[in-house]
């Protein structure tokens, strides 16, 4: 469903942020990218979404190669949850969630119904939350609205950049449960970035461990904990074998 081959990004000044990254996710699979700060996680996600043009390499989503379609059409089939939720402060919860549908000039009643349904899904009832502004929400609620916004047009593929970052353990736990349920029900293919090894092992069918722009090792929890490829992997998974 998502496949990248030799994906590479060299920024101005010869900064190689991502170096020949390749992986594949089947339909309904969750992939978790994890690695040190600045190792190229967000850049990888943005290249798949074409917010950043790759210097080299190919991206497929479904049967389409990214250069066969213009970027705007390409992004419609991909839900993107931005690092730190990224809600527009001058728009209400409802307006934030229906932003893309509005641009696509969707039917008004459809939009209200869909927003109501999504707010239900993330446990934030329409009557209570739809008309609030982001500043009137907690951090975790903002993150949930960011997830709802990405789901609005029902994309088969979701890219999520630390969707559960900076949350207390209890809220995080309950969002994990919602997320697992959501994935089971909606069969989305999800590529997610996280800083948290326990989270990656809990949610990811595949864990993609990156360092300095490259994939060091990719696999299940068993692969990484039982057969770590080198000391870097060992130090990363240490203490997380039974998460
Ligand atoms: N527009 C840019 N121009 C030049 N360098 C950039 C640009 N964007 C990112 N970089 C560099 O590329 C590298 C990878 O950045 P990226 O945002 O992908 O990291 P990350 O793994 O998401 O980190 P974090 O965990 O801190 O979010 C970093 O060294 C960063 O400084
Ligand atoms: Mg990042």
- The string of pLDDT tens digits covering residues 190-217 is 999 998 999 999 999 999 999 999 999 9
Give the closest residue (by CA) to ligand 1 atom 31: 38
Q: What is the pLDDT of residue 149?
A: 92
Query: Whose Cα sits closest to atom 19 in ligand 1?
Result: 38
Q: What percent of the chain clears pLDDT 70, i.e. is strictly above it?
A: 98
Higher pLDDT, 177 or 17: 17
Per-domain residue ranges of the chain: 1-77+157-243, 83-154
Q: Whose CA is nearest to atom 4 of ligand 1?
A: 11
Q: What's the chain's average pLDDT?
A: 90
pTM metric for this prediction: 0.89
Domain 1-77+157-243, classified CATH 3.40.50.2300, yes or no: no
What's the CA angle centered on 77, arms 39 and 38, to 5 degrees?
A: 10
User: Using CA atoms, how far apart are residues 226 and 241, in angstroms rounded to an integer?
Assistant: 9
Q: Report how far ligand 2's centroid is from the alpha carbon of 126 (Å).
A: 31
Alpha-carbon distance 233 to 214, whole Å? 13
**Which residue's CA is minimally distant from atom 24 of ligand 1?**
37
125 with 119: CB under 8 angstroms?
A: yes
What's the gap in Å between 90 CA and the centre of ligand 2?
25
Closest listed ligand to the CA of 82: 2
Identify the nearest ligand to the CA of 43 by its number: 1
Radius of gyration of the chain (CA): 18
By three-state DSSP, how is residue 191 classified? strand
pLDDT at 232: 93
Q: Which atom of ligand 1 is found nearest the CA of 162?
A: 27
Q: Could you report the per-residue pLDDT of 51-95, keeping only the tens digit for each? A: 999 999 999 998 888 777 888 888 888 988 887 778 999 999 999
Q: Residues with Cβ within 6 A of ligand 1?
A: 11, 15, 17, 37-43
């Amino acid at each position: 469903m998502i496949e990248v081959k030799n994906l590479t990004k060299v920024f101005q000044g010869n900064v190689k942020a991502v170096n020949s990254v390749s992986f594949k996710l089947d339909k309904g699979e969750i992939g978790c990218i994890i690695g040190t700060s600045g190792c190229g996680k967000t850049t990888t996600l943005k290249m798949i979404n074409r917010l950043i043009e790759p210097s080299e390499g190919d991206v497929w989503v479904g049967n389409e190669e990214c250069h066969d379609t213009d970027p705007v059409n390409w992004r419609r089939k991909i839900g993107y949850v931005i690092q730190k939720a990224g809600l527009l402060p001058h728009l209400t919860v409802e307006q934030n969630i229906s932003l893309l549908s509005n641009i696509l000039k969707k039917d008004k009643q459809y939009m209200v119904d869909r927003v109501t349904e999504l707010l239900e899904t993330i446990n934030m009832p329409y009557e209570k939350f739809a008309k609030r502004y982001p500043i009137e929400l907690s951090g975790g609620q903002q993150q949930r609205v960011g997830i709802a916004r990405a789901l609005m047009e029902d994309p088969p593929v979701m890219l999520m950049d630390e969707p559960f970052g900076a949350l207390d353990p209890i809220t995080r736990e309950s969002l994990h449960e919602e997320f697992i349920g959501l994935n089971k029900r909606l069969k989305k293919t999800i590529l997610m970035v996280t800083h948290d090894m326990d989270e990656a092992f809990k949610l990811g069918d595949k864990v993609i461990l990156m360092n300095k722009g490259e994939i060091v090792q990719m696999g299940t929890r068993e692969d990484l904990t039982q057969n770590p490829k080198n000391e870097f992997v060992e130090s990363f998974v240490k203490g997380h074998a039974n998460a």
